[in-house]
Structure 1
Amino acid sequence: MKDTGMIRNIDPLGRVVIPKELRKNLEIEKCDPIEIFTDGSKIVLQKHQPGCIFCGEITENVFKGKYVCSACAKAVSR
């Protein structure tokens, strides 16, 4: 993990601001969904990438509001 040298404080409501430089570098726009999880003693934030409801593969295909990859769509249609 790369050290950016940036330190931010958590505000009284438990929020932290992700610096503009990092958002720009990681192509995170206003209102983008962010995943939050832990890895050992670390808190990890990453841009959410939608996955197929059947296999989890990253996809942009949406059917009735759900993400479904091409392979799973083909398998279900048989």
Structure 2
Amino acid sequence: MPRRSFDKAFKIGVVKLVTEEKFSVKKVSLQLEVHANSLYRWVQEVEKYRAKKPKRKNSFRLFGLHRNTNTIWHCCLNKN
């Protein structure tokens, strides 16, 4: 099975679900079919990046995400 790759916008969106929206890593990983260890690593990478940069009001805008992206992630998590 080939290894899957995810673009930066997807990773940041998933991290936002865990860090800002307070969804559990387990729930996000199951709904999006991404291994929990990958999510934990992405969260650590973003936290490391944030520690190096001065704080901004909305650091996710650095990665090109907009507030409307939030609804897309909620739709992914709310599917049954």
Query: Which structure has more helix as a fraction of its residues?
Result: 2
Which of 1 and 2 has greater Rg?
Answer: 1
Q: Same fold (TM over 0.5)?
A: no
TM-score normalised over the length of structure 2: 0.20
TM-score normalised over the length of structure 1: 0.20
Query: Which structure has more strand as a fraction of its residues?
Result: 1
